[in-house]
Amino acid sequence: MTLSDVLEIILITYNRKRFLKRTFEQIFDNEKSPIRNLEVTILDNNSTDGTSDLIKKYQEKFPNIKHEKNLRNIGGNANIAKAYTMAKKKYVWVLCDDDTYDFEGFEQIEKAINEEYDVIFVQKTDKDFPSIFTKASFVPGCIYKVSNFTDTVICNMYDNISNMFPHLALMAKNINDNNKIYIPNKDYIQTYLGNSSYNCYIRGYKNEDEIPKWRKNMFWGIGYFNSCALIKNKKIRENILNNVKMGYCKNLSQSIKNDLRLNYLFYEKSLYNLFCLFNPLNLVQKMVFVKVFTLFLFDVLFYYHFCNKKFLFMPNDEKWDKYLKFVDEQKYIDKLAKKYKGKKILIYGAGTIAEHIFDNYDLSKLNIIAVSDKKYSSTSKYKDYIAIPPEDITDLNPDVILFTLYNYKSVKKDFKQQKISAKMENMIKRDRYILI
């Protein structure tokens, strides 16, 4: 059997003609694309931006493209659930309209399909359940065997729409049944990282006020926690929750703290969200929740109300200037310069934070010998400094490494394992009064 006999593509979209065009170019205009001749259904959530015209243009050249347009916008998550219920072939791969593809070596995915794996990841991940369940939250990250789409699973998918991840019901089913899961050694697809804080339950809706608050205020972390309740095996569920791998959060306490703060700041202090956070936990984990919640209340009641301290969230790209001014970054840089006077300093991190620091603050008192970042594969330039890959740091033998990273601890740990003897410190002052 050929790939077209067993695999179909369902691509969900809504008012993103610009992104969809780029996706079409990658899938259909690329002669090396292994999926360009498969049956591809575009599930259009009632777009009004000319998406239909773009699809018609490609249909003239590729008759394997089908276009199904919803009569009305049913919301992003409902469209995801609908996509899986439409599947008719042995396997289905649900795609979004804004990702990038690398089909080199796709033969190993085809081999996994021929070997009848139940779930086939198209992104590499660790083989532990926390990594698998987190990675599966990315819709196009998995190809699923349709025979596992039981009536119960489909119902759980629709029930899980309000939890933001209807498709995690599919992964929960495969974990519960101990089904065969294939993990490749490379990424065939990369997600487009847009506004991750945007509530995908209401994405696209024009009348958000008509949506119940408990749904409207759902966000990524809460939805993920509540989706974990679909895992029947208590030990596996406990393992996933204890080792949550979301952003900078690497354990249960960090995740609970982050979600409590997000809920307090942005989601109208939703009591429903607190219930969803608490609900899937076992007794020991609930005790951790109580501890973290108590400390959080202390911060809110004492430092915010009594000490009149401001609460900020981890800044996005537009807010780093405000954040750095709030923590008096220049004063902190001057302290570091005095502390490490005459020492050879390497700056690690050449991303958004570094841009703000180098462009807005005086670093002349720091004896900076180079800048390093994993994005460099060879010696380059960053601002007026030499830029090197991390593996070349030992050649320079710096006395001090200053991180321009929000979460620097994992990098620091890696450097220590590599026997880098330099003193290591974060260049970003962390204040306990800041909700991060």
Residues 239-288 pLDDT 10s:
999 998 776 677 899 899 889 988 887 788 899 999 999 999 999 999 99
Terminal Cα-to-Cα distance of the chain (whole angstroms): 52
CA–CA separation, 369 and 381 (whole Å): 12
Q: What is the pLDDT of residue 73?
A: 87
Q: What is the pLDDT of residue 111?
A: 96
Q: Provide CB contacts within 8 A for 212, sequence distance 6+.
A: none
Domains of the chain: 3-190 (3.90.550.10), 225-306 (no CATH), 320-426 (3.40.50.720)
Q: What is the pLDDT of residue 204?
A: 53
Q: What is the pLDDT of residue 307?
A: 60
Q: What is the pLDDT of residue 198?
A: 46
Q: What is the pLDDT of residue 323?
A: 75
Q: Provide CB contacts within 8 A for 330, sequence distance 6+.
A: 361, 362
Give pLDDT < 70 ranges for the chain. Answer: 192-209, 247-248, 303-319, 407, 430-436
- Detail the DSSP E strand segments found in 188-284: 189-190
Q: What is the pLDDT of residue 317?
A: 58
Burial of 433 from C-beta contacts in 10 A (0-12 / 13-18 / 19+): middle
Phi/psi-derived region of residue 125, left when phi > 0, alpha when psi is between -120 and 50, beta in every other case: beta
Q: What is the pLDDT of residue 352?
A: 84
State both tokens at 132: 């698998």
